[in-house]
Amino acid sequence: MGMALPHSVTTCLSPPVHYVICKLGFEKKDSYDINTILSENGEVCWQAVTEHVCYLESDQSVDYIKSIRSLGPVCESVNLHFKSLTKEQFVIQYALWFRWTNCTELFLEVFDVLQYTQNTEVALGLMKLTSCLERALGDVYLLIGKDCPFLLRDLLASKQLAVVFGQPVMNVLRVFIGSPYGLNLRNVLWHGFASPQEIPAKYCAMLLFLTAGLGQLLQTYLLQTKCILVHRPYVIFLNLEELDVFPDLNHETLSVAEELVKLSSFVLKTMLPFWMAALTAFKQSRYADSVILLLPQLEVGLRLLFTTTNKCPNRLLTAEPSALYTTFDEILAKHLDNEEVNQLPAVLEEPTMEFLWDFLNHQEGPRLRDRLSHGEINLEAFPREVANQIVAFAITLLCRFSDVDMLAFKEHMIIKLLMNCASCYRSRFHPVSRLKKQVLECMKSIHLWPELPIVPEEHVQMIKGLEGNAGASTLIFMISELISQLQQYMPQNCYRSDDLINSVLTERFLIELCDTRICTLYSPRPVLEMVVVLRKISTQCHQVSEQVIASTELRYEQWMNKTLRSRQRHNYLRMLNSIKFLSPVLRLILMLITLELVNVHLVCKKNPFDYQQYLKFLKSILQYTENLVTYTSPEKNKWDETMELTNKALIKIRKIGDRKLMLMQLAT
């Protein structure tokens, strides 16, 4: 689809913000002697820096405008000082003072960037520097405080950091980052408002300098208090295969992408250098850099679409400090701030929205932007697979939103393939998707039971006085009856046999059910509440299965080695007896969970009373599975009791079935 987007935009900074960042710090022309803020032995004289912070007479809070004007020449002086050093001199003088950040190399690289000022590199350096600085300051906060604030603004304003570094020092930092009234460099960059030429290099130099100064103050504090700074571990991407959406991008595809960037109206002309730098970084295997450059650009492009679609062009610019920026949060939300429906999701369509929510927002997803911008990811070890997804996704947006005829590009095999992957995307990290995954993993575990070694029948005959299998058979009969009662509500293609348990409660049927498309975007609250309970049930079932597997293997080995006492032998046989009905009952519960999940949206049709009754029923099944976990644990080992529990649970399920309270029964 083509969408006419405004090409004439020359800046995304509103006039007041543009003035503060690009002009204010250049108004005072004094040259400033570096030796007033740097002692002979290379220590930052904080007193000489903090005296540049000005305060409002009314309430003694920081006067950001005056402070930026006053600090401008100081930053210039620091920038020139760094330019006069060789890399070797810089390393000797400063490397030690960056150690506290746990990213010494990164700070040394920022020095290189300042030597031959390339605008995109300065901006990228600042983005990485501020996120690593935030992470390190959070580690310092934890020397004193308990839960580290999530927002940089709150972290910098905290009492805890003022104790370590002193309030005046924290105020200097707040002039540069973390306050919407100051330069706010980190937010302006990470949200994609600043184009490369709008960020003065001297502010990057100043933050590099201040970080070293903080290292010096921290060392003093640690020596005085005998504390040790502990760095929180980085977030590691587990299951990378779950993030695998698009095929691997080769050089040819990236060359096509470079052509696309120049033509697509998704890209603001002022931002073009960022896009080119992102593609170059990917080619050079600098995967974190590539994603850090691209995420703000995706935000700009989507903000452009958002403001065009919702006819609010003013929202394209940075807002005044008192108003909200339009960020990913607003762009991806269901409603605008005036309660009207956001039109963007309809334009982007569901698969694209799902991808954005998965990669940026869902709690169990990679939450890339949050984690990168808060310094939670090790940039050195950023996986190619993840960068590949973001770059490929960006290419599909370049292709979709453009006024130029993109036919030539869309005919490209690889572009066709990417577009196809994008249009078929389904959420992977929404709670509904996680539940499907859990159910299938649990079923796999239960499928291992028949392979478990059990003691041959003839050994068993020798033990006297064992109650027969009557109890187990009764339960198995009840399960069959339940299935035939509920059969009419199940898809019709899974069973034609007398043995209902083994023809219906199968992995194949579950896989088929889980393949049903369920709308997950903007799930209503009752749906999410219900899914939370279903996920807990599924987790407990899996735990029971794992315990059964472990106990069976252990007891069999002990039996064969003749190390079981008489009571333990009886207990082992009781366990084997219980397994006969535990397998079908767990499979029945998984089947019920999945059938209810497939019809989950019908829960919104229930009146409040029925909804509460229904939730109560689900919670009673949860209680049953929790009790099973306890009884089948190696500590408790109460196998006979599982029979009584199961009997009660099956009666409950039958009652709810009779009252037609299940969602699958509403569906027909």
Q: Does position 464 have pLDDT exceeding 70, yes or no?
A: no
pLDDT-derived band at 493 (thresholds 50, 70, 90) equals low
For the chain, the average pLDDT equals 93
Top pLDDT among 443 and 403 is at 443
For position 372, what pLDDT does the model report? 98
Q: Does position 214 have pLDDT exceeding 90, yes or no?
A: yes
Cα of first residue to Cα of last residue in the chain, in angstroms, is 38
Q: Does position 1 have pLDDT exceeding 50, yes or no?
A: no
- Residue identified by tokens 């005959």 is 461
Q: Does position 444 have pLDDT exceeding 60, yes or no?
A: yes
Read off the pLDDT of each residue in 505-530 and give the average, rounded to a whole number: 94
Give the rounded percent of residues in the chain with a pLDDT score beyond 90: 81
CA dist 427 and 434 (Å) reads 9
Q: What is the pLDDT of residues 76-117, one digit of tens each?
A: 999 999 999 999 999 999 999 999 999 999 999 999 999 987
Residue 335 is classified by DSSP as: B
Q: What is the pLDDT of residues 566-586, one digit of tens each?
A: 888 888 989 999 999 999 999
Q: What is the pLDDT of residues 222-236, one digit of tens each?
A: 999 999 999 999 999
| Most confident among 16-25, 636-645, 652-661 (mean pLDDT) | 16-25
Helices of type H across 401-499 = 407-410, 413-423, 431-446, 457-461, 470-486
Read off the pLDDT of each residue in 469-496 and give the average, rounded to a whole number: 82
CA dist 286 and 387 (Å) reads 9
Q: Is 55 helix (H, G, I), strand (E, B) or coil?
A: strand
What phi, psi does 137 have (nearest 5°)? -65, -35
Q: Does position 468 have pLDDT exceeding 70, yes or no?
A: no
Q: Does position 611 have pLDDT exceeding 70, yes or no?
A: yes
CA dist 37 and 46 (Å) reads 7
Q: Does position 64 have pLDDT exceeding 60, yes or no?
A: yes
Q: What is the pLDDT of residues 587-605, one digit of tens each?
A: 999 999 999 999 999 999 9
For position 2, what pLDDT does the model report? 45
- What six digits make up the tokens of 192? 């994609």
Q: For the whole model, what pTM was predicted?
A: 0.94
Which residue ranges make up each domain of the chain?
Answer: 15-225, 240-423, 431-667
Q: Does position 560 have pLDDT exceeding 60, yes or no?
A: yes
